[in-house]
Structure 1
Amino acid sequence: MPSPLRSKESGSFAYTRWEAVESEDTTDSPITETPFYSFEEEVPATSTATPAVPWPLSPNRLTRPSMPNGHSHGSQGPISPRFDVQNSRCLSISIRTMVILVMLGVGGIIGFVARWGVHRYFVDPQGHCMTPIPFQYNAEMAKHAIDTISFSSIRDFFEEFTSENDHELGSIESSDYARSISQLWREFGIQKTELDVVKTMIPVANLRDHGHVPCEITIKDVNGTTVWSKDLDAESMAQVSYSASAIGQGQLMYGHYGRFEDFHEMGLNFSGSVVIMKLSQLYHVGSMVRNAQYFGAKAVILFPDPVNHLLTGNVSETKIKISPNESLSASAKLFPGDPYSPYFPGKSKESIPDIPVISITFSEAQTLLSNFTNAYNLTTLHTYGLPLDTQWNMNFTAMVEVNLDYEKRSIRNVIGTIPGAYEPTRYIIIGAHHDTWWKGSSQAGLGHSVLMELARVFGYLRQHSWKPGRSIIFASWDGEEIGQLGSTSWMNSHSKELNTRAVAYINLDYVLTGSSTVHIAATPLFREIIERAAKSVPCITKKNIDDDCTLFSTWIDEDAAATSLKSDKLMMSDPQHSFQSILGVSTIEVALKTLAMPYPHTNSSMDTVSAIKTILDPEFKHAALVARFLTILLLQLTMTPNLPGSVSDYANKIHSDIHTFIQVNDKDLEEHDVNVGDMVDALNKFEVAAFRFHSTYDPSFPLEFLGHHEFSDQLMELERSFLLPASYSELSGQPIPLLRSPYKHIIYGPDPLNQGMSVLFPQLSGALKLARYLNTTGLWDSVRREAFFVVDALESASCVLENHLVHTYVDDVNHPMHRMYTS
């Protein structure tokens, strides 16, 4: 199609074709302005001009503009072959560049996927260069790691800790010690360390308003004559933290262990009384005081249980007994954490008692029990080993005065992190505390020493190029002795992050309270991994390399009835700890102790270095055994691609416990129309979901790591699914005051009436016990309400395991999966 072009002479438009023209010599031509692209006008047929010869390969090419003096992009003739050659070269370079970029991109993708299988090396403690497959538990590397654990190193940490004069929470010495822990961890190779400073209110003796007598006990007869009195100094008064600052008086009554059933079954009238009770590590002091207050007590006096303590399980050995002049420290606070924290609005009154609480020695208690305490008509079931007169109705009035004030102090948690190489946002947390009441040799000292040894070993591995698959967080807590102030504060301030990222919490606060066997208190989810770890740790008595003795085999030998891991050694997690009971983070507590009665000197002035070295762990071999076990446990939790948890073990544990629960309570449940059928149906559904979860798990290459990730996330979410719904406390709340608590775990958790014990269905069990003892019709409505939440929790767990919203399963007895499970 011709194109219009304005005529140079007349200004009119003429039609031209886009044609290439022959080059003309323009050397002598005058300089003229020429457009970049020029078009030659069509020459009439009568013209003598030479017709344009088009370029043979392109008959309609644009001509290049002419330039003055022959300088141009080229002459005003046809485009030259050299121009096409240059274009071809540019095109060739572009194509090659594109190919290289594509190859680099494909190589990057392949490298990213292959990264999960690339061998990385590190130097083991013996200097060997090792190349384990990353993010995979390596038994050889684990052996070298546990060989690095040294009982002499643990002893050095212990002696350094106990050489300090003061570890009192909030003190200058304790603050300096926290900084030294942080510095030492950095030297070990844990580069990311921080001090978590928490401001809190600490109860202290009020000496300003009451001179030198902040606390006293006075006993008077019916005539008002003082027959016995005792003044306690500030140090003695501080043994019971969070007591009410008040004066309480009334008839002196014996209250046994302060359990709810004790007050109910002994048949005494505790209204308006002062109750004297035995302290035991089996029972929670806050619960004891709350129960006494519920039954009308005006004050509480605590004394040590004088029972003999057997630390080894060998009845022929010497029994340990508490000194009659030894009193025990305790916290009267009901719930963990700072009761004045904004995280617990309105909870301070429920957590702190309204009555004064005081602790005395057994020698002082003997005088009160034998001469002034009413224990009329009690049986030896309650009075065993005590000098109580059960034949006479004693009528002496006791007055207890406690003067406390609250002081603002700063406590310091030390947090050290080894980031994970593959799942850095999945946290394995391991913690112990560094504050003490007295010298704190057993509880704080040994737990702290084992934590430091683990930090040293894993820091050493990190310095030699090893990295965990998941992140390891080491935590040295402050303010734990008086009620888990440091750990609970850190947990609350990081709850949003921990809710979705925390895999497990390992508690070292009770590492050594005996020398009989390692006792594991853990969620059933980790039963399998605990058993595997126990089989990987040589026992203390192993004599040579051919000896097959392991920690697990010692458990089996001690109980011939055990077919796998002993149920009495694998209980639920620490009932008083917040990570599982409040956040739903699966928890493991490891302790070496005797199952009957633990080490008696905890929280006393007798808990000294000599006591540890003489009667508990003279060579620190037991502490080293626990450290080796924890090393294997940490490696399995951090280096296994999919978390080594077994939902089937959880289902089996609940199955066993729930049927026992129904058998024991069946008559009362049926009589008051509590529907256990829905509970059994929900349990069956959960068992089938647990079986499906493991049997259908099959991640495939190349996205295998995503399959592992989903599997691990579902295990983490399982424990959270057992928590009470978020609306429980905000909307409906707990109508029964005795059952109110921050604990949210529905399946296993602290008994609301005795938080020292872990029970199945804590809220339901507590409501059932109250309804049975108090025989009130309205309480059975609460029982039915708590039974509903049990069913809801089990069904929620089933949905989590099945990804209910995206997967469909046929819940029919004829379904192949159901038949496979039931067979």
Structure 2
Amino acid sequence: MAGAILLPSTDQGSSGFDIKQSWAQAREWFDKKWNGDNSENAPLLNRERAASPPKLTDPEKIMLDLPSNQSIRDYLKIYTSEAHLAGTPNDKKQAEWTREQFESFGLKTKIDTYWPLINYPISHRLALISGPENLRFEAKLTEDPVDEDETSKDPNVVPTFHGYSKNGTVQGRIVYANYGRLEDFQFLKDQGIELNGTIALMRYGGNFRGLKVRVAEIFGCAGALIYSDPIDDGPLNKDNSSNPAKPYPNGPWRSKSSAQRGSVFYLSLAAGDPLTPGYAATENATRIKPEDSPALAKIPSLPLSWEDALPILKATQGLGVRGEKDWAGGLDQVDYFSGPTQGEAILVNHIENKITPIWNVISRIEGAQEPEKAIILGNHRDAWVYGGADPSSGSASLLELARVFGELLKTGWRPRRTIVLASWDAEEYGLVGSTEWVEDNKDWLDKEAAVYINVDNAVSGSNFAAKASPSLNRILYNAASDIRDPHTGKSVFEAWRADQKLSRNENPWIGQLGSGSDFVGFLDHVGIASIDLGFGGDYGVYHSNYDSFHWMEKFGDPEFLYHQTLVKLWGLLTLRLADSAVIPLYPSDYSAELVKYAKRLTDFAAPHTFPELERALDKLQKTTRRFERKRQRLEKRLAEYKSLDDIPSVLAKRLIKANSRLTYFERGFIDPEGISGRNWFKHVVYAPGLWTGYSSQVFPAIADGIDAKDYAQARYAEERAAQAIHEASKRLKDDY
């Protein structure tokens, strides 16, 4: 997961975006919005929190009392006891076990099966086979066993490979291309480095791994290697951590033989099964050919450890060029020259592609008063190997949350709105399980889904972070204020604010949703307000054999108290969304954000302006202000009654209408045409950055046009965005 916002840089000559600058800009916007902006559009969150907090309901008290850290530990032990790659027998066994647990809690549960394309490793090889004898080498491509970590002792239980990588063998000289960004390859090309037919060596970080492969492909490379440098998630420069600045098992950081598996799906172009774009991968679905999918890599690739990358960098030493800004990693034996190497390398990526079943586990708690409105909770279950943090910390948390809901049901409680719990499969390959389910249930979701809450890597430390649709920011702040942080003894909200080094009158940063987890189908394809949350930390074993129960118990969350806290927060958010009379979504907060986004977009595109967009946003602000006044009057009237069962029919109709308007507001931002060149993504406000992947790009279709200097496309995208914003305004006035 990635929490950084991606917004346009002011440097029009850049082929990418400056993330550090974007963070600073975004922080400035949020400081003004939440604290120092006197605009009538700014929501008064600090004032609301300063008022007497609402009394916890009985179900909320139970939700904060019942979650057990010991139960979560036990669940995690089971999930991490065996490798469970998507579509494998172990994956199916864990899906069935998850269903059995849900059912034992009294939840109505089923397994929804889909048949996507999945690839599996058969054999691999990397070797420098020519050139100076002293530089030739054979890569190990294996992670070393760790004596104290029992599950690490079978290093080939899932060999190091890339999901959705191209099957094949290539031979060529190797070029070091830094992070594999557009600007890195353009620099090499401008310096006269021959790229055609080479194999690109790139390091993790800066952009999504699949987009590194895509850029290498575009610049003519025949193959791609992606390694983990010790300066990124290894032990270098980690002295400020509370954990030892040492590689696993002596510290939490990546060790020399550790490699990051992962998908090289082009996730800024599509999501889900690459052979059934836009429709569900049912058993007998019509499928396109793999070579016709825009999201599949066309060149083979492998992940590497820094132990295997070092001999390559030694072979490029003194050859080619070196960049200046962020070009060098942390290996002090080399100077990170580009090369190419004198000798040639052979890269073998022998994989099996097959259509295979995957299994989503779906539970449903029917709503009592508004069953046609649904709050959906999701976590993916599949892992590259054992998945101690990613995703099994979330899977164990979801099970514990289900157990608490089962206990609540025994008291006679029923949610006002329907609650759906989902254990997704094949997320690691390309958000496959959730996307196929969204495509399969799109009509129902469009009609009934109010909010989606995603938890992926639930806990890898103690630092809370969240990304969300802006209409959900307020409920996130309020819920976090009602839950105690285990280490500080203060609220999660206060610890969150302290982590970001903010003053008492500032609110923590909530990021924009980009890609990299299962919220994508809900937000970007259907237009369902979404949240993604978790506790992060010193996590250097991502997608490796060492992301294990032992790592979690030693470094991530030894007492499982942050897992327990995560369940409380997830549950409290769910109860308030499911049980509040008026759904706690705030369109006025959303419109305030859009105005900020539009200003930055205009600054980036100068001298171009966006008058249609500005007019649409002006109307949206007026509409959301009117809606907020009506909402407050409605809530005041509802407060006059002890029970919603006592309200008169005319007030009940107003309540139903208000909740429908809130539910459908985000749908207004969906453009049926989608974004040019990647039309599966249909949200006019958010999409993954075209060349970054995980990070969010606001007003993506417009930004894509500007970045490509295709101003006709940008102008057309502005028209479409303005139409969608008008539609969102209309959704707050429609009768339902």
Q: Same fold (TM over 0.5)?
A: yes
Superposition pairs for residues 64-143 of structure 1, below 5 Å? 138-143=56-61
- Equivalent position to 2:485, from 498, 522, 539: 539
2:610 counterpart residue number = 676
- Equivalent position to 2:721, from 784, 790, 793: 790
The SS at the match of 2:326 is helix
Quick one: distance in 2 between partners of 1:196 and 1:412?
6
The SS at the match of 1:759 is strand
Residue identity in the other structure for 2:390: Q
Deviations 1:345-402 (A, max 9, x none): 6585211111001112110101101213765132252124242343976444333222
1:501 counterpart residue number = 448
2:702 counterpart residue number = 764
Contact 1:254/1:375 (8 A) holds in 2 = no
1:431 counterpart residue number = 378
1:820 counterpart residue number = none
Q: Mean alpha-carbon deviation: is it higher for 753-762 or for 555-564?
A: 555-564
2:63 counterpart residue number = 145
Q: Mean alpha-carbon deviation: is it higher for 270-279 or for 453-462?
A: 270-279
- Per the TM alignment, residue 318 of structure 1 is displaced from its structure 2 partner at its CA by 2.3
- Equivalent position to 2:684, from 739, 746, 749: 746
- Per the TM alignment, residue 242 of structure 1 is displaced from its structure 2 partner at its CA by 1.2
Contact 1:157/1:449 (8 A) holds in 2 = yes
Residue identity in the other structure for 1:275: A
2:496 counterpart residue number = 555
Which runs of 5 or more residues in structure 2 are unaligned? Answer: 1-53, 143-155, 246-251, 280-286, 638-647
Deviations 1:623-682 (A, max 9, x none): 11111111110110000121101111111112222212322332xxx2xxx442222222
2:206 pairs with 1:274: no
2:179 pairs with 1:257: yes
The alignment's C-alpha RMSD in Å is 2.9
1:199 counterpart residue number = 115
- Equivalent position to 1:521, from 453, 456, 467: 467
Q: Mean alpha-carbon deviation: is it higher for 496-505 or for 282-291?
A: 282-291
- Per the TM alignment, residue 299 of structure 1 is displaced from its structure 2 partner at its CA by 0.7
- Equivalent position to 1:581, from 517, 524, 527: 524
- Equivalent position to 1:480, from 421, 424, 427: 427
- Per the TM alignment, residue 284 of structure 1 is displaced from its structure 2 partner at its CA by 1.6
Superposition pairs for residues 546-695 of structure 1, below 5 Å? 549-559=490-500, 561=502, 566-572=507-513, 574=515, 576=517, 577-594=520-537, 599-666=539-606, 670=607, 674-695=608-629
Deviations 1:318-352 (A, max 9, x none): 23431011111111112321112364665852111
Structure whose alpha-carbon radius of gyration is higher: 1
Deviations 1:411-458 (A, max 9, x none): 211111110001112111111122222111111221011000000001
The SS at the match of 2:200 is strand
2:37 counterpart residue number = none
Contact 1:751/1:763 (8 A) holds in 2 = no
The SS at the match of 2:376 is strand
1:717 counterpart residue number = 664
- Equivalent position to 2:271, from 314, 336, 354: 336
- Per the TM alignment, residue 467 of structure 1 is displaced from its structure 2 partner at its CA by 0.2
Contact 1:417/1:471 (8 A) holds in 2 = yes
Residue identity in the other structure for 1:353: A
1:12 counterpart residue number = none
2:76 pairs with 1:167: no
Contact 2:460/2:552 (8 A) holds in 1 = no
- Per the TM alignment, residue 237 of structure 1 is displaced from its structure 2 partner at its CA by 5.5
Residue identity in the other structure for 2:469: T
Q: Mean alpha-carbon deviation: is it higher for 494-503 or for 305-314?
A: 305-314
Deviations 1:241-288 (A, max 9, x none): 2111123333311222222233234534433321111123x6322222
Contact 1:137/1:635 (8 A) holds in 2 = no
- Per the TM alignment, residue 317 of structure 1 is displaced from its structure 2 partner at its CA by 4.5
- Per the TM alignment, residue 225 of structure 1 is displaced from its structure 2 partner at its CA by 11
- Per the TM alignment, residue 550 of structure 1 is displaced from its structure 2 partner at its CA by 1.4
The SS at the match of 1:783 is helix
Quick one: distance in 2 between partners of 1:403 and 1:557?
48
Change in 2 beyond 3 A, CA 1:314/1:468: farther
Change in 2 beyond 3 A, CA 1:329/1:422: same
The SS at the match of 1:556 is helix
Identity of aligned residues (%): 24
Residue identity in the other structure for 2:186: H
Superposition pairs for residues 363-512 of structure 1, below 5 Å? 363-372=307-316, 376-386=321-331, 387-390=334-337, 394-512=341-459
1:241 counterpart residue number = 163
Quick one: distance in 2 between partners of 1:794 and 1:197?
36
1:216 counterpart residue number = 125
- Per the TM alignment, residue 470 of structure 1 is displaced from its structure 2 partner at its CA by 0.6
Superposition pairs for residues 305-344 of structure 1, below 5 Å? 305-307=229-231, 309=233, 314-315=240-241, 317-319=243-245, 320-334=252-266, 335-341=270-276, 343=278
Contact 2:377/2:421 (8 A) holds in 1 = yes
Contact 1:574/1:589 (8 A) holds in 2 = no
Deviations 1:457-510 (A, max 9, x none): 011111221100011111111222222221111111111111111111111112
The SS at the match of 1:694 is helix
Deviations 1:521-561 (A, max 9, x none): 11101011111111111221466xxxxx3111223334464
Change in 2 beyond 3 A, CA 1:785/1:298: farther
Contact 2:176/2:339 (8 A) holds in 1 = no
Which runs of 5 or more residues in structure 1 are unaligned? Answer: 1-135, 207-213, 544-548, 772-778, 808-823
Quick one: distance in 2 between partners of 1:542 and 1:371?
50
- Per the TM alignment, residue 308 of structure 1 is displaced from its structure 2 partner at its CA by 5.6
With the length of structure 1 as denominator, give the TM-score of the two structures: 0.72
Deviations 1:197-243 (A, max 9, x none): 2223321245xxxxxxx322233556999933447698676621211
Contact 1:641/1:705 (8 A) holds in 2 = no
- Per the TM alignment, residue 195 of structure 1 is displaced from its structure 2 partner at its CA by 1.2
Quick one: distance in 2 between partners of 1:695 and 1:562?
31
Contact 1:237/1:358 (8 A) holds in 2 = no
* Higher RCO (CA < 8 A, seq sep 6+): 2
The SS at the match of 1:442 is coil
Change in 2 beyond 3 A, CA 1:427/1:274: same
Residue identity in the other structure for 1:337: G
1:799 counterpart residue number = 730
Contact 2:623/2:732 (8 A) holds in 1 = yes
Quick one: distance in 2 between partners of 1:641 and 1:589?
24
Quick one: distance in 2 between partners of 1:569 and 1:675?
28
Residue identity in the other structure for 1:500: K
Residue identity in the other structure for 1:557: A
- Equivalent position to 1:356, from 263, 280, 300: 300
Quick one: distance in 2 between partners of 1:639 and 1:604?
40
The SS at the match of 1:465 is coil
Quick one: distance in 1 between partners of 2:461 and 2:238?
6
Quick one: distance in 1 between partners of 2:503 and 2:701?
31
Contact 2:180/2:215 (8 A) holds in 1 = yes
Quick one: distance in 2 between partners of 1:375 and 1:297?
16
1:86 counterpart residue number = none
